[in-house]
C-alpha cells in the first residue's frame, strides 16, 4: 500500500481541515479582519526577489543534507565570528522520527531550531538590507489580535477533531514539550517565509489566484530535500509524498488571504505538526 495514500491516516487530517475551513469562514466575517491592502511599489522586482530567495532556500537545504563535509568546513569558519560551530553543525543533521515518538530530545530540538534559524536568515537579511517593514511579511499590527485568536481556535479545534484530547491531558512529557517548541519555530519560520514573504510578493506580481497557487506549489517543493535526503523517499513515491504539503499550503494560503496576518497561521501550523508526536 502506498503510505502516502493511506485513507486511515489521512482521514483525520482531512476532517481537521474541513473544520478549519468552516471556522475560518465564520471568524473572518468579523470586521476586525478588515485591513488596508498591502501595495508594493515594484511588484515585478518583489516577485523576482521572492523567487530567487526560494531557490536559495531549497538549494541550501539540499546542500546541507547532502554534503556533511562541506557543512562542517563552512561552519568551522563561522566559528571565527564566535558562533559555536559544534552546536550549529549538529543542527544540520536531521533524523526521521515515527509518529507518536517519545524520543524527541533536546539535541533534536537544537537541530530543528538551527535549521529553522538558518532557513529564515536570508529572508531576514534581505528585509534589513532593503529596509522593508515586518508588515511586508504578514506581521502587521492591524489584524494581529484577531489573527492570534483565530490561530488558537484552530489549534484547539485540531486537537479535538484529531482525537488528541486524552493524550493532551495524560501523555505530555519532555519529548512532547521539546517537539512543541520545535514546531513553534517551524510554524513561525515557514509561515513568515511562504505566506508572509513569498505569497504577498507573488500576489502583488501575479494576482491573488496565481500568487496563492504558486506559493502552495513552492511550499510542496520545499519539502523535496528532506523527503529525498532525510526520509529517503523513493523517486516513485516522491510525488505522492508532496500531496499533503501542497494541500496544506493551499489551506494556509487561503487563510492568509482571509486574515492578512501570519500570526494565527503560525500557531495553527505549530499545533497541526505537534499532534503527530502525541500518542
Domain-embedded: residue 77: yes
Give phi and psi for 11, each to the nearest 5. -60, -45
Residue 98 domain flag: no
**212 class by beta-carbon count within 10 Å (0-12 exposed, 13-18 middle, 19+ buried):** buried
Tens digit of pLDDT at every position of the chain (279 positions)? 566 677 777 888 999 999 999 999 999 999 999 988 889 999 999 999 999 999 999 999 888 877 654 343 333 333 333 333 343 344 445 555 555 556 788 888 888 898 899 999 999 999 999 999 999 999 989 899 999 999 999 999 999 999 899 888 887 888 889 999 999 999 999 999 999 999 999 999 999 999 999 999 999 999 999 888 878 888 989 999 999 999 999 999 999 999 999 999 999 999 999 998 887
Which of these, 262, 274, 12, lies nearest to 148 by C-alpha position?
262
Q: Looking at residue 11, what is its pLDDT?
A: 87
Is 178 part of any domain?
Answer: yes
Range of the domain at 134: 6-28+38-89+103-277
- Cβ neighbour number for residue 272 with a 10 Å cutoff: 23
* Residue 115 within a domain: yes
pLDDT of residue 46: 97
Helix (H) or strand (E) holding 20: helix 7-27
Q: pTM of whole model > 0.75?
A: yes
**Residue 73 lies inside a defined structural domain of this protein:** yes
What is the number of structural domains in the chain?
1
Q: Is residue 110 part of a domain?
A: yes
Q: Are the CB atoms for 183 and 270 separated by under 8 Å? A: yes
Q: Given this model, what pLDDT does residue 71 score? A: 40
Secondary structure E strands in 58-190: none
In a domain, 112, yes or no: yes
Amino acid at each position: 500500500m502506498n503510505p502516502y495514500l493511506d485513507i486511515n491516516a489521512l482521514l483525520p487530517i482531512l476532517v481537521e481541515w474541513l473544520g478549519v475551513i468552516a471556522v475560518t469562514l465564520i471568524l473572518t466575517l468579523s470586521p476586525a479582519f478588515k485591513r488596508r491592502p498591502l501595495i508594493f511599489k515594484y511588484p515585478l522586482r518583489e516577485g523576482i526577489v521572492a523567487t530567487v530567495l526560494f531557490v536559495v532556500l531549497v538549494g541550501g537545504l539540499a546542500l546541507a543534507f547532502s554534503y556533511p563535509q562541506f557543512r562542517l568546513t563552512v561552519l568551522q569558519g563561522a566559528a571565527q565570528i564566535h558562533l559555536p560551530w559544534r552546536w550549529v553543525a549538529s543542527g544540520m543533521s536531521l533524523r526521521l522520527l515515527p509518529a507518536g515518538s517519545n524520543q524527541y530530545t533536546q539535541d533534536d530540538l537544537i537541530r530543528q531550531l538551527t535549521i529553522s534559524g538558518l532557513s529564515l536568515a536570508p529572508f531576514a537579511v534581505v528585509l534589513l538590507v532593503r529596509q522593508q517593514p515586518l508588515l511586508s511579511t504578514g506581521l502587521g499590527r492591524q489584524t494581529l489580535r484577531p489573527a492570534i485568536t483565530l490561530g488558537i481556535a484552530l489549534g484547539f479545534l485540531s486537537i479535538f477533531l484529531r482525537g488528541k484530547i486524552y493524550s493532551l491531558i495524560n501523555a505530555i512529557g519532555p519529548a512532547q514539550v521539546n517537539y512543541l517548541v520545535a514546531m513553534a519555530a517551524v510554524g513561525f519560520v515557514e509561515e513568515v517565509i511562504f505566506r508572509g514573504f513569498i505569497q504577498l510578493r507573488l500576489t502583488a506580481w501575479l494576482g491573488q489566484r496565481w500568487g496563492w497557487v504558486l506559493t502552495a506549489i513552492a511550499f510542496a517543493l520545499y519539502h523535496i530535500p528532506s523527503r529525498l535526503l532525510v526520509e529517503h523517499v523513493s523517486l516513485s513515491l516522491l510525488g505522492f509524498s508532496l500531496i499533503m504539503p501542497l494541500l496544506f499550503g493551499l489551506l494556509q494560503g487561503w487563510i492568509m488571504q482571509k486574515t492578512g496576518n501570519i500570526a494565527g497561521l503560525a500557531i495553527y501550523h505549530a499545533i497541526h505538526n505537534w499532534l503527530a508526536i502525541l500518542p
